[in-house]
Homo-oligomer: A and B are copies of this chain.
């Protein structure tokens, strides 16, 4: 089905807010087999909103709208859409109850203007909102469908997962199943080459690759008459992909690498400690970003100078002298030292050049990741040959996470 996404909100036209809603919905819609043809953004202006709505429907049959469903006077999306599709508004008592409960939960008095949110188009499919106050809705007329979401990304996503997605599945002739495989350690073009025999001339399941900072994501999707067939086709294809690129895969359901690592550490009852030079705390931050990380990390070290590497994790000054501070030897010693100093099961460490500066004769993007787990100790080399400090630091952390992942998997 040809689809448009129409975002309503002056803050988007001011550049104060990035339209991440359009990207989220486009991704989801494409996964389901809908063709997203256009994104539009208009301000909180009834005439221009009506105009763009007409434009969107002139060339596409499904229009997803975000924003403008709130209680204030400039929230007009619902009224415009209802009027455009020739529907009256009715007062939805379920929404009234939800609103009362919401304000009670938050110990706040409900102001009168909130009642505005309880009016929905006659004949719509309400999308009741347990993540905020403004409900969404889907409205169909003469084969044209409008689905309205509140603007806050958290609420929009909640309504997508808890109503909109299920509503749209009703319009798919075939059943769609897909899994998102995340990989690290091989570039997109290389991975595409590896998988070319599978991708080439492949109609179903489809394999889509896309690159994301130092990672590459594969989406394997199948549309069949039954969900069972689609799922079977996807799993068979994944098995073939594993045969070719298994070593680069770290997650199968779009789970972040730090979440995967923390989950595995918990499952195995292991603790970890890091000695970080060029990442300066970003690895520990990535681990502690995951709720419940206290089970797996208690002590971690930012050793940003040579002296700190000696004082905090016992790297001999002579070793730094002999091999240089950015070396596999020092990385390994840092990891062993972090493990010893913390008493953790696993020590992980990094020393390298994030850039823009590097020592004479060395290049930004060169780093060594040390590890120490049981009798497995060593170091791996990383070279990004990039001089974007931020990019390098993020990539270094991903490679540290991957090193841990491979150690304990």
A-B contact pairs, 17 of them (CB 8 A): A7-B39, A19-B23, A37-B42, A38-B42, A38-B48, A39-B39, A280-B289, A281-B285, A281-B302, A289-B390, A298-B304, A298-B305, A298-B308, A299-B304, A299-B308, A301-B302, A302-B302
Number of interface residues of A (CB under 8 A): 68
Query: What distance in Å separates the Cβ of A401 from its nearest Cβ neighbour in chain B?
Result: 14
| CB <8 Å contact, A19 and B42 | no
A312 within 8 A of B: yes
Given the known interface contacts A26-B14, A308-B299, the answer about A285 and B288 at a Cβ–Cβ threshold of 8 Å is no
**Which residues in chain A, 291-320, are within 8 Å of chain B measured between CB atoms?**
291-294, 297-305, 307-308, 311-312
Complex alpha-carbon distance, A13 and B36, angstroms: 6
A43 within 8 A of B: yes
| CB <8 Å contact, B300 and A307 | no
- 8 nearest A-B pairs in the assembled complex, by CB-CB distance: A280-B288, A15-B27, A281-B284, A15-B26, A281-B281, A300-B302, A39-B41, A298-B305
Task: Enumerate chain A interface residues (CB-CB to B < 8 A).
Answer: 7, 11-20, 22-30, 36-43, 48, 52, 55, 210, 276, 278-285, 287-289, 291-294, 297-305, 307-308, 311-312, 342, 355-357, 389-390, 393
| CB <8 Å contact, B18 and A30 | no
Complex alpha-carbon distance, A28 and B14, angstroms: 9
